[in-house]
Amino acid sequence: MHLCVVNPSSHTKLSVNINKIALLRNSRGTNLPDLLNVALDCIRFGAEGITVHPRPDERHIRKSDIPILVKNISVEFNIEGYPSKDFIRMVLDNHPDQVSLVPDPPDVLTSDSGWDTKAQLHFLQQVVRQIKSEGIRVSLFMDPDLELIRYAADTGADRIELYTGHYSHQYNLDRNKAIEPHILASQQAAKSGLALNAGHDLNLFNLQFYKESVINLVEVSIGHALVCDALYFGLQNAIIMYRKKLE
């Protein structure tokens, strides 16, 4: 049964993940495309946030990119990553607006599962406390699991970011069935006092339905699909198209 919920949130921010831009730059060992210039253009074209996910092997975003972006970006800057000691040090040194914590092992290709907040509650409480003590908002990458979302609130995090990979993969088969766990998860987040972000494999085909179905969706982070669409439509047009899906 499809649970239809009217979304009372009047606006959902689009944060553009620029990892794929950095991956293209790194492939030739030059500064083309210039990561900062692309980030600033994304903002000029309508992006309301910039997201990066530096990984230990620096295959796309490099640690050296972070201070440059922090210094020059005027919109919300979001850093994703696993809370290793090096990652936490980088975050505290650069003070982004938001940190999105993911449970990725170092060699993972992409983030594809959320935190087990019940099993890792004590660890996450310590990490969240340390980051929030510097005035930085904390979001936890989560599957749409109601029990684990309740535990996410106990960590002290401000938000959760729902992993939308399974939703995106199932969308063409049965979009109503695909969205049901996320509707319930968004309701649980609201009950638990957690603001809601979402991301992973959202695109021009499935984004609007997601936005219209879940409640209180504050922000989506989109990179891979948006950059792929930019190859056909251009970066400015792609960002405008994604913004329209959220309106």
What are the C-alpha distances in Å from 192 to residues 115, 123, 133, 146, 159? 16, 20, 21, 10, 10
Residue 96, CB half-sphere, CA atoms under 13 Å: how many? 28
Q: Both tokens of residue 182?
A: 């996320």
Instruction: Determine which one of 53, 60, 161, 182 is catalytic.
Output: 53
153 near 194, Cβ under 8 Å?
yes
- Whether 53 is catalytic: yes
* 97 DSSP 8-state letter: S
Options 48, 182, 200, 219, the catalytic residue: 200
48 is catalytic: no
Catalytic residue among 48, 60, 80, 219: 80
Q: Are 176 and 209 in contact (CB under 8 A)?
A: no
**80 belongs to the catalytic site:** yes
| Active-site residue set | 53, 80, 200
